[in-house]
Amino acid sequence: MPESRTVALVTLGCARNEVDSEELAGRLEADGWKLVDDAGEADVAVVNTCGFVEAAKKDSVDALLEANDLKGHGRTQAVVAVGCMAERYGKELAEALPEADGVLGFDDYTDISDRLQTILNGGIHAAHTPRDRRKLLPISPAERQEAGASVALPGHGPTDLPEGVAPASGPRAPLRRRLDGSPVASVKLASGCDRRCSFCAIPSFRGSFISRRPSDVLNETRWLAEQGVKEIMLVSENNTSYGKDLGDIRLLESLLPNLADVDGIERVRVSYLQPAEMRPGLIDVLTSTPKVVPYFDLSFQHSAPNVLRAMRRFGDTDRFLELLDTIRSKAPEAGVRSNFIVGFPGETASDLAELERFLTHARLDAIGVFGYSDEEGTEAATYGDKLDEDVVAERLARVSRLAEELVSQRAEERVGATVRVLVESVESADGEDGVRGRAEHQAPETDGQVLLTSGEGLSVGRMVDAKVVGTEGVDLVAEPLLGSPEWSEEAGR
């Protein structure tokens, strides 16, 4: 094979996709491909698509078209779609978007190098016909681990590869190659979902829930620490279900302290938690384990009982507020974020008012609000009593305004507090000098950040205590406590 083969990975969507891209990068590099950042400098541009909602699908198509425009103007010879949208639509996407030279599903990932070489040589790899991936694993979670060995599970690569197969390879090296120098990395805890929310199509193309073995998660975390990672974020479609197919629904509670003990790891963050599956023991571990941050990414979606039932979900305003009270009784400064859907079929004015009541009392640090739209293949798409688009848009704007006001108020409550900040950049996005990072209550991408008033002695990956002196919307402005033990230890290295 020629040594000059180059490939660029363009990743859209969630942190789970980022992990999948790094697995693809590991596979390609192991087979001799050179990874480049600029798609215009690559022989093949691989776009890892998102297939969750219409806006994400549009972004994915736009990214594929943008990459296609590079052909004939530089080195790029082929554009290939992978990821959720490619898996969900397969042959249909290939026919609708001839600009993509290939559409590869999850089953193609283990042979990604051969697939790209075939396409680069002018050959054709037929796109797959989509299927319901929930049917690939047994209904019983207890029977899934053995069956999972024969099912493509992106992000579940082994972590005991032989010398030379992965970068900095050793006994703990995963099939993964980091695509940036960030001090933060996501780690796949599980794949798929057994919940049947009426608005969500993810289980149909991601499959049923299956956990990674704790040893694989731990080994990958050790490897990431060796690459300079300071914070890991555990991701899956539903982290609260972790271990149920391994015979221990409380496995996360025992895994977290082990991850926190990994040399070099300063923070462990858990995302994607289901309110209905939260249990006292998990709350205790999340609020009391050193280096495990008290951060709760709770998928509420709504708080009006009638809407939640139509969504095939559980809970109500008062039960959700009780859950938050329990969390804050153990960790008063815990970070909490959530997403909400407004304009769901049958949502009444009183349902909307109930959601606003919850938001007003919940004191959430970050809030995502989405207007309902039909997703093909979901139960909700078959519901009657749909709201007019202009009504959905009005409710979306109304709740979004309220959410923006509330998260700003929540940020203001933190003025005067001391936060521990992981420095992530020493120059702001507009090119102005500045140091930015995140406190324990802020997850990457989805939440706010901390703007430090001084960067003296600080660099990316350093931890520093800082006093919050102001806010800019959801963001905090903080003054580093330069005499703190944490700063002195880091600055002296």
Annotated binding site: 14, 50, 84, 193, 197, 200
HSE-up of 81 (CA within 13 Å, CB side)? 36
How many H-runs (helices) and E-runs (strands) does the chain carry? 15, 18
Parallel/antiparallel/unpaired status of strands 6-11 and 44-49: parallel
Structure tokens belonging to residue 261: 């003990």
Q: Which residues contact 30 (CB under 8 A, 6 or more apart)?
A: 165, 166, 175
Structure tokens belonging to residue 488: 């002195």
Return the SS3 of 133: helix
Reference 458, options 426, 413, 414; nearest CA is 426
CA angle, 469 then 475 then 476, to 5°: 20
Reference 301, options 350, 353, 380, 355; nearest CA is 355
Q: Compute the distance between CA of residue 206 and CA of residue 315 in angstroms, rounded to an integer.
A: 25
Count the neighbouring beta carbons within 10 Å of the beta carbon of residue 326. Answer: 13
Q: Compute the distance between CA of residue 58 and CA of residue 61 in angstroms, rounded to an integer.
A: 5
Distance of CA 271 to the CA centre of its chain: 8
Count the neighbouring beta carbons within 10 Å of the beta carbon of residue 276. Answer: 14
**8 Å CB contact between 228 and 461:** yes
Reference 282, options 321, 248, 256, 247; nearest CA is 256
HSE-up of 273 (CA within 13 Å, CB side)? 22
**Annotated binding residues for [4Fe-4S] cluster, as ranges?**
14, 50, 84, 193, 197, 200
Q: For the purposes of burial, counting CB atoms within 10 Å of the CB of 418, is it exposed (0-12), middle (13-18) or buried (19 or more)?
A: middle
CA angle, 9 then 421 then 275, to 5°: 75
Strand partners, 210: 191
Sign of CA dihedral 139, 143, 145, 148: negative
Structure tokens belonging to residue 477: 């402005």
